[in-house]
Amino acid sequence: MAGSRGDSNISAKEKEKRMSTYDTALSMARQGQKVELRTMPATESGVLKTLLAHPLVQPHILLRQGASSPHAYLDKLAARMLHAADPCALHAGIYALEQQELIGTVSLQNWNRYENKAVLGYLLNPLWWGRGLATEAVGLLLDYSFQELGLLRAEGRCRGDNLRSERVMIKNGLTLERVLPMPGSPSDVMKVFTLLHN
């Protein structure tokens, strides 16, 4: 094979694929009208764990992950989110501009950099529900993912009765693609929404 494999001979897109998750997270700070997305410092560990353990938030996290030990799983999840330890995920904190406090997270999960697809993840402190903040945060992440990371397909999932989460996705252009049975819960379903980059 002729030529060298140095950085000067690879495309910008290939460099992005080789960029570490941590470097990518550091470059993704984005500001909207109500919220800002940015990396979460390790000092936010307590706030993040409290958010993940909130009784209105926790069931959705554990349901998706199928965790058997909630506390251990949430501790491990918080550590992965704060330290960019998962190469197939990108997590950012959602900060309210008016108070500059961590109020939620938004992420790309199961991020396949070679097929340019990922699953959206997001959660918001229930004290901030109903203000359009999750919708704006997801929009900021989608814009960054499609424009800067080369993402071609985003998928979002929610329980059948999670109308708030469903509205967040619909307002950001995702459309219902399929409905799946929920493992271990014959009366519940998982709705899967998708958005393709034009």
All residues at 6 or more sequence positions from 120 whose CB lies less than 8 Å from its CB, including other chains: 106, 107, 108, 109, 138, 141, 142, 154, 155, 156, 169
What is the rounded distance in angstroms from the CA atom of residue 145 to the CA atom of residue 86?
A: 17
11-23 per-position pLDDT tens digit: 555 444 444 554 5
* pLDDT single digits (tens) 144-161: 999 988 999 999 999 888
Q: What is the number of other CB atoms lying within 10 angstroms of the CB of residue 140?
A: 22
Q: What is the mean pLDDT of the chain?
A: 81
Residue 5 has pLDDT above 60, yes or no: no
Q: What phi, psi does 109 have (nearest 5°)?
A: -120, 160
With beta carbons less than 8 A apart as the criterion, state whether 106 and 94 touch: yes
Least confident of 28-32, 112-116, 121-125, 134-138: 28-32
Ordered by start, the domain boundaries in the chain are: 12-196
For position 8, what pLDDT does the model report? 41
Fold classification of 12-196 is: Aminopeptidase (3.40.630)
